[in-house]
Amino acid sequence: MAKITFIGLGNMGGPMAGNLVKAGHEVTVFDLSKDAVAALVSEGAKTAGTAHEAASGAECVITMLPAGQHVEAVYLGDDGLLAKLPAGTLVIDSSTIAPETARGVAEVARAKDIPFLDAPVSGGVGGAKAGTLTFICGGSEEAFNKAKPILDTMGKNIFHAGDHGSGQVAKICNNMLLAILMSGTSEALALGVKNGLDPAVLSEIMKQSSGGNWALNVYNPWPGVMEGVPASRNYEGGFLVNLMTKDLGLAFDNAVKNQASIPMGSLARNLFQLHAGQGNGSLDFSSIQRLYKPE
């Protein structure tokens, strides 16, 4: 069992830290939300007043933060964790950020002999709770092997994508495709309903046909069709529209830098940005269905 610090207890980070506690690790948590911290303490975690206090004596530090600027604020600069952590401390960042940001943090960590992995996740809140997440890791083979037993506690599929930043590249590609699939699924369901079809029946038809995809099969965006998904609880919880919009922005920026053509990804970015601008940023991303089915 390891002494682990977990920073960032949002919809994903909270359940991930909880699974580490359940596995018997000594987990110290930190988050600006007192309620989120209290929930983990009730499960057996310890807490501290600051991120530095939380990381004191840790063998491994894991972060799950909203965006690149938050990752840089936690790790870099004279007040960042990397300035204080002893050599050899394993650092895992599971935030979804720009690949170049991950490489920048990794460069500072390398200079201090601190093994660092960018390890964004896929699988949603359900996967975080069930401990079945997919981790997509970028970093050295040595750091990956050191981290894998810890990641196995929170995930089912653990991939080593390559060197620093590779995990982030794979993640933004995945989320761009997910946004495209969710937009297309919502559009198809709305068209069928406009023609008098039952959305549940249409969903089953498409699931068993060539239109089947993850968004349709396990995360149906039409309210009431599937139990246990955000669409059936007024799109509360889950993966926020604002976060999907951020990830699509990362994909767009990366495509510009690499002269890659992403016409479908660009359209999905515009759709989610429009949806967020209409006051839906704090809803689950499957609420893109509302663009086609106004309520």
Catalytically annotated residue among 171, 194, 207, 293:
171
Structure tokens at 91: 């650092």
Structure tokens at 38: 């209290």
Mark whether 3 is an active-site residue: no
Task: Spell out a b/e string for 210-231, using b for 16 or more CB atoms within 10 Å of the CB, else e.
Answer: eeebebbeebbbbbebbeebbb
Question: Catalytic amino acids?
Answer: 171
